[in-house]
A and B are shown apart, each in its own frame.
Chain A
Amino acid sequence: MAVDVSSRDMGAMRRRRRRSLMRDVVGVGVIVLAAAIGYFAFPDNLALLTRIIAVALLVLSLDLVTGYCGVATLGHAALFGSGAYAAGILSAHFGINDPLLMTLAGLIGGALAGLLSGLVMLRAHGLPQLVLSIALIHLFHELANKMSSFTGGSDGLSGIAPDPIFGRFEFDLFGNTAYVFAVVMLLVVFVLLRILVRSPFGMLCRGLKEDPLRIRAMGASPKRAIVKMYGISGAVAGLGGALNAISTQVVGLDTLSFTQSAEALVMLALGGTGSLFGALAGTVAFMMFQDYVSSVNPFHWLTMVGALLIAVVLFAPKGIYGTVAAFLEKRREGRP
C-alpha cells in the first residue's frame, strides 16, 4: 500500500520536473517567437523593442530580490543605471568600444552597485528599509548629477560609440543589430535565471521570503543570502543598463531615477512577482501600454498608471501571469 502511494508520488514528481523543463523550452520558444513577431510587426520601432528588453532585464533583476527574497524596494534602478554608466563611461572616456567589454563593464558595475545596495538595505526592515531604498536611488542620482565631468550630468553622457560586435556586425541606423544582440542577451539571462531559481540557492531564497526564522534555524544566514542575491540581481540589471547604453548610445540621468525604480516595481506587480515569466509579461504589457497611451494622450499617463496599479492590487494581486497560471492550474487539477 505504502509502495503504491510512493510510486504514484514518484510519478507526480517526475511529471512536475518534466513540466518545469517543458516550461523552460516553452519560455525560450515564446521569447524567440515574440521577438520574431516584434521584428516583423514593428520594423520601424526596433528601438522601442530593444528598450523593452533592457527594461525587462531590470524587472527580472528586481524580481530576484522582491519576488524571490521578499525585499520591497523603490530604488532598484540604481543597479540598472550603474550598469549603464559603467558601460557608457568605458566607451566615452576610455575609448574601449568593444560591445562585449562594455557589456561586461555593465555587469560588473551593476553587481557592485547591487552588493552596496544589499549591504545598506540589510540594516533595516519595513518602512525604514523602504526609505533606505529611496534614499539610495536619490543618492546615486545626485552623485551622477554632480560628477558631470564623468557622467555628463543632466545633459546625459554622450560620445558612446560601440564597435561592431565581433568586428563584423555593425550597429546600424535601424537598430537591427542592437535588437538581435538584445534578444540573444535576454535568452541567455533567462536560461541562467531559470537555473538559478531552481538551484539550492534559489530554494534557500524562496524559503527566506516565507520564513527567515526557519531559515536561520536551518543554519543559513539570511543576510548573506540577501547580499548575494543583490549581487546577482545587480549583474542582471547592469546587463540591462549596458544594453541600453550600447543601443541608444547615450546614458541619461533618468536611468538612475526614482521614477524608473517605481515603474519597474509597477511592471513586476503587473506581471506577477516571484516568477520570471511574470516579470517579462509585466514589462511587455506595461511598456506597450505606455507607448500607446503616450502617443494618444501623454497628459493622462500618470493617472492611468496609478489607476492600473490600484486595479491590480484590488482585482489581480497575483498579476497577469500569476492569475493566468492559477487559472490553468485549477483547470489541470479539475481534469481527472
Chain B
Amino acid sequence: MTAAVGNPVFEVVSLKKSFGGLVVTNDVSLSMAAGDRVALIGPNGAGKTTFVNLVTGTLAPSSGEVRLGGEVITGLDASARVKRGLVRSFQVTRLFQDMTAAEHLGLAVLQREGRSGRIFGNFLTMPDVMQEVEHRLETLRLTALMHRKVREIAYGQQRLLEIAIALALKPKVLLLDEPAAGVPQSDVGLIEQALNELPADLAVLMIEHDMDLVFRFAKKVVVLAAGAVIFDGAPGDATRDPRVREAYLGSYADAGRVA
C-alpha cells in the first residue's frame, strides 16, 4: 500500500487478526525504509496497539506476513525479532519496579551483546557496559536518576527510560506506542526532544494522539479505523480527508484534537 522510497527495511503485507468474530486488524499493509518517520493514528480501539503486538510477535496474526530487512519473520518468537532489530515500546510503561534505571539499561545492553546469560560478575563493574549506560542516560538527560529504583521515578521520566531501553537494543525499526501517553503536559517537551534526537537512520513508527506532535514528527501518516487503513499519506492531507474526519467525528467526540 505504501511505497517506501529506497529499500524497505520493514514490510507488513495483508496482516489480519480477529478475536472471535471481532476483526481488529483488517488487511493492513505497510512499508518503511531506513530513516522513515511514520505516525500511526486512529481513534481509541482502532487496533493500533494490536498491530504492534502482531508485528512484534506478542500476538499471532490470523494471516499475513511481516518482513524485516527482506527476511520473513512472521513465524519467529518475539525475542528473536528483537534480536533482528525490531523493537517496541509499550503504551503503558512496563518496567521493573525494584530495579534501577542503570540496571534496566545494563540489562538491555548485556542482552543485545548476548551477555545476559552470564552467571557471574556484576555489570556495575564492567566498564564498557557502564560507559554505554551512562552515555545513554546522559543523552536523555536521565543521569541524575541512574541509581534510582523505577518506583521512585516520575512517570514522564519512566517513559524516557522506556525509549532509552529500546534504543539500547540498537534497533533497525522502532515502534513507539504512544510515547507521550500519561505524561503531564509540562513533560511532553522532554519526550519530543528525545524523539527528535532519535538516530537518523532508524525507521520509526509512532502511535500518537497528540496531533501537534504528529505534525512535527512525521513525514507520513497512516490512519487506522476499525482495524483497516483508511488513509495513508502526508500529514497535512490527513485532516482534510473526508474518511478520516468521518472516522474521528463519528466515533470520537474530541474532534478538536484532529482539526
Chain A contact residues, CB within 8 Å of chain B: 2, 5-6, 9-10, 12-13, 16-17, 195-196, 198-204, 206-207, 210-211, 213-222, 224-225, 228, 232
A6 touches B96 (CB 8 A): no
B169 touches A199 (CB 8 A): no
Chain A proximity mask over B65-100: 1 for CB below 8 Å, otherwise 0 = 000000000000111101100011010001111111
Say which residue of B79, B99, B107, B124 sits within 8 Å of A216 (CB atoms): B79
B148 within 8 A of A: yes
Q: Describe A's contact surface by its main secondary structure.
A: helix
**Can you give 22 contacting A-B residue pairs, CB < 8 Å?**
A2-B144, A10-B146, A10-B147, A13-B100, A196-B120, A199-B120, A199-B122, A200-B106, A202-B119, A204-B117, A206-B98, A207-B96, A211-B94, A211-B96, A214-B90, A214-B96, A215-B79, A217-B88, A218-B79, A218-B82, A219-B87, A220-B116
A218 touches B111 (CB 8 A): yes
With A6-B146, A217-B56, A218-B107 given, is the CB distance from A204 to B97 under 8 Å?
no
Chain B residues with Cβ below 8 Å from A5 are 144
A219 touches B99 (CB 8 A): no
Closest to A7 in B: B144
B79 touches A204 (CB 8 A): no
Say which residue of B88, B117, B122, B145 sits within 8 Å of A228 (CB atoms): B117
B116 touches A200 (CB 8 A): yes
Say which residue of A12, A207, A213 sits within 8 Å of B147 (CB atoms): A12
A213 touches B94 (CB 8 A): yes
With A9-B144, A13-B147, A228-B117 given, is the CB distance from A218 to B122 under 8 Å?
no
B118 touches A201 (CB 8 A): yes
Chain B residues with Cβ below 8 Å from A6 are 143-144, 146
B169 to chain A, nearest CB (A): 6
B4 within 8 A of A: no
A9 touches B148 (CB 8 A): yes
A126 to B111 Cα, complex, angstroms: 27
B58 touches A2 (CB 8 A): no
Chain A residues with Cβ below 8 Å from B115 are 200
A217 touches B119 (CB 8 A): no
B103 within 8 A of A: yes
Say which residue of A196, A199, A217, A220 sits within 8 Å of B94 (CB atoms): A217
6 tightest A-B contacts by CB?
A219-B82, A13-B147, A5-B144, A216-B78, A214-B94, A221-B79
A199 to B116 Cα, complex, angstroms: 9
A294 to B122 Cα, complex, angstroms: 44
B121 within 8 A of A: yes
Say which residue of A195, A200, A211, A225 sits within 8 Å of B110 (CB atoms): A200
A277 to B100 Cα, complex, angstroms: 22
Say which residue of A13, A200, A210 sits within 8 Å of B107 (CB atoms): A200
A9 touches B94 (CB 8 A): no
A202 to chain B, nearest CB (A): 8
A73 to B213 Cα, complex, angstroms: 49
A188 to B56 Cα, complex, angstroms: 43
B56 touches A206 (CB 8 A): no
B243 within 8 A of A: no
Chain B residues with Cβ below 8 Å from A218 are 79, 82, 107-108, 111, 165, 169
B229 to chain A, nearest CB (A): 25
A195 touches B120 (CB 8 A): yes
A196 to B117 Cα, complex, angstroms: 10
A79 to B145 Cα, complex, angstroms: 42
Chain A residues with Cβ below 8 Å from B80 are 221
Chain A residues with Cβ below 8 Å from B169 are 218-219
Chain A proximity mask over B140-174: 1 for CB below 8 Å, otherwise 0 = 00011111100000000000000001000100000
**Most A-side CB within 10 Å, residue of B79, B90, B143:** B79
Say which residue of B88, B98, B118, B144 sits within 8 Å of A200 (CB atoms): B118
Chain A residues with Cβ below 8 Å from B78 are 216-217
B123 within 8 A of A: yes
B245 within 8 A of A: no
With A214-B96, A218-B165 given, is the CB distance from A203 to B111 under 8 Å?
no
A228 to B116 Cα, complex, angstroms: 12
Closest to B122 in A: A198
A123 to chain B, nearest CB (A): 15
Chain A residues with Cβ below 8 Å from B165 are 218
A203 touches B144 (CB 8 A): no
Closest to A202 in B: B119
**Most B-side CB within 10 Å, residue of A200, A207, A213:** A200
With A204-B107, A216-B78, A217-B87 given, is the CB distance from A210 to B97 under 8 Å?
yes
B90 touches A206 (CB 8 A): no
A133 to B124 Cα, complex, angstroms: 37
- Given contacts A204-B117, A216-B79, A219-B87, list 5 more A-B pairs with CB under 8 A: A13-B102, A17-B124, A216-B58, A217-B88, A218-B169
Chain A residues with Cβ below 8 Å from B145 are 9
Closest to B107 in A: A203
B90 to chain A, nearest CB (A): 7
Chain B residues with Cβ below 8 Å from A216 are 58, 77-79, 82
